[in-house]
Structure 1
Amino acid sequence: MDITKIIFFDIDGTLIDMKKKRISEKTLDTLIRLKEKNIILGVATGRSPLGLPQFKGMEFDVFLTFNGSYCFNRQQSIFSNPIPTDDVKKIISNAASINRPVSIATKEKLVSNGKDEDLVEYHSFANLEVIIDDNFDDVLNNNDIYQVLAGCHKKDYPELMKNISHAKITAWWDRAVDIIPTSSSKGIGIDKILKYYHLDKSEALAFGDGNNDIEMLQAAGTGIAMGNASKDLKAVADGVCANVENDGIYYYCMEHGLI
């Protein structure tokens, strides 16, 4: 039997209950106990580094942000894969054609050229505000852009991505999208992190709930879908634990002798 040496967690809907917008005491206790066993703990999220949560008494070891486009630990960058600037500009233009503002994300900033209800609520999940920046164009032209966020519905995807060559949509909510490089995913990010730590896929465990977690669960030796996960994610998962509100991660780790 392979020993679990690293565990990746999605945040929203996996560690954090989206209704209560917080981590439960049992889930937090699970993370602390896993750390005590020297298991490497990583977050794998669509959030930017600015939107990473802080959990009392617990620090993660490695961070997969922007759905895998930028991965790092406390010592250094592990993987960096921004969207080509020409594609970012075209996405912004396409979004304007359907009357949608966007936010663009660098390592240090998340700035917007406007706001609408969907974009505001999408930011709120990470406890962030939509910041309309007068220097939006300067940020765009002088920084690596790892992700574009836009409020939209599935019917808008073709127009939003018209004539885009090197970027793709990844989504876990039905009213907004993250746009990342075509050559990025949580799965690719996990591959890079495992290589960095000289770990085999069989030594990795991952928990997720959304369709943007599909590649992540496939990249880990064992991929577990939350009980509240999408049907598509459950279809590729190696197992399903209880819902986030019912402390699925805690009970899974207890039952499998991880804590």
Structure 2
Amino acid sequence: MSKLVFFDIDGTLLDHDKTLPAKTKEAVRLLRDKGVYTAIATGRAPFMYEDLRKELDIHSFISYNGQYVVFENEVIYVNPLPPDPLERLIGKAQEKGHPLVFMNELTMKANHSDHAYIHDSLASLKFAHPESLPDFYKDNELYQTLLFCPDEQERFYEETFPEFTFIRWHPYSVDILPAGGSKAAGIKKMMEKLHFKMEDVYAFGDGLNDKEMLEEVGTGVAMGNAHPLIKAKADFVTADVAEDGIYLALEKLGLL
């Protein structure tokens, strides 16, 4: 195999209704038939897209924006959140009335039993409000935590907790990662297992958590529905996810 392609999920592989377009599925199959290696790079937890991996026959993936990396069904890298600053952040969030969802490789638990911000944010991914288990973080390594607060209140956390990187993905929700964490860092870890040159690596994305990834790889492709900042960082901008953007880009790039 001489090429490697990473795909984001939401807004990239999955359309605005969280369904997999037929042409996208066909494109991934054609890539594999042509000997192009395919992988997923997402902010989602591994348990959130098992069915998608099975449907696409993809066995290598970067979850939690680079904090949990799997190559051919083998975990090769993990980067959990540092527990001490996380505990301080939890305390501040509780003072401000901002709920959290704690996430490891197997499940997610909330520190609030029923909160509108959690409902609205996770519903956009077609997931329900998680079970409340406020002490879950004490006994489990976490690879990502979701903070639920309006945009104007995010800066407080960014300034107070330099141990973390904060990436907004919803009007009410922010991903919390270890400082410096990114999909690009996860890609580098996977590249250590492969014999590819970075110029032979392609990546497709649409959200703010895709910025470093599109900058790092040889060819970064932004979906037509991508955030304007992501389009500005990309080497190539394709059509909207709902207009077969992946298939069209792969054709134009000579990969199909």
TM-score, with length taken from structure 1: 0.91
Counterpart of 1:215 in 2: which secondary structure?
helix
Structure 2 matches for 1:1-259, cutoff 5 A?
Answer: 5-18=3-16, 20-52=17-49, 54-55=51-52, 57-114=55-112, 115-134=114-133, 136-137=134-135, 139-161=136-158, 163-259=160-256
Aligned residue pairs total: 254
Rate the CA distance shift 1:201–1:8 in 2: closer, same or farther, 3 A.
same
8 Å contact kept, 2:42–2:64? yes
Q: Tell me how far apart the structure 2 counterparts of residues 11 and 204 of structure 1 sit (CA, whole Å).
A: 17
| Residue deviations 1:70-117 (CA, integer Å, cap 9, x gap) | 111244212110111112212222222221211011111210011422
Query: Which stretch has the larger CA shift, 55-64 or 89-98?
Result: 55-64
For residue 242 of structure 1, report the CA deviation from its aligned partner. 0.4
Query: Aligned partner of 2:108: which letter?
Result: L
Counterpart of 2:61 in 1: which secondary structure?
strand
Could you list the runs of 5+ residues in structure 1 that have no partner in the other structure? Answer: none
Q: Tell me how far apart the structure 1 counterparts of residues 73 and 100 of structure 2 sit (CA, whole Å).
A: 31
Q: Tell me how far apart the structure 2 counterparts of residues 57 and 180 of structure 1 sit (CA, whole Å).
A: 28
| Residue deviations 1:202-231 (CA, integer Å, cap 9, x gap) | 110000001110001011100011111111
Counterpart of 1:22 in 2: which secondary structure?
coil
For residue 162 of structure 1, report the CA deviation from its aligned partner. 5.3
For residue 38 of structure 1, report the CA deviation from its aligned partner. 2.4
Q: Tell me how far apart the structure 1 counterparts of residues 159 and 89 of structure 2 sit (CA, whole Å).
A: 8
Counterpart of 2:105 in 1: which secondary structure?
coil
Could you list the runs of 5+ residues in structure 2 that have no partner in the other structure? Answer: none
Percent of aligned pairs with the same amino acid = 32
| Residue deviations 1:30-78 (CA, integer Å, cap 9, x gap) | 1111122222211111111111252364221311111111111244212
Q: Tell me how far apart the structure 2 counterparts of residues 202 and 146 of structure 1 sit (CA, whole Å).
A: 29
8 Å contact kept, 2:71–2:190? no
Rate the CA distance shift 1:188–1:145 in 2: closer, same or farther, 3 A.
same
For residue 198 of structure 1, report the CA deviation from its aligned partner. 2.4
Please provide the CA RMSD for this pair.
Answer: 1.8
8 Å contact kept, 2:42–2:65? yes
Q: Tell me how far apart the structure 2 counterparts of residues 117 and 93 of structure 1 sit (CA, whole Å).
A: 20
Query: Aligned partner of 2:230: which letter?
Result: L
Counterpart of 1:38 in 2: which secondary structure?
coil
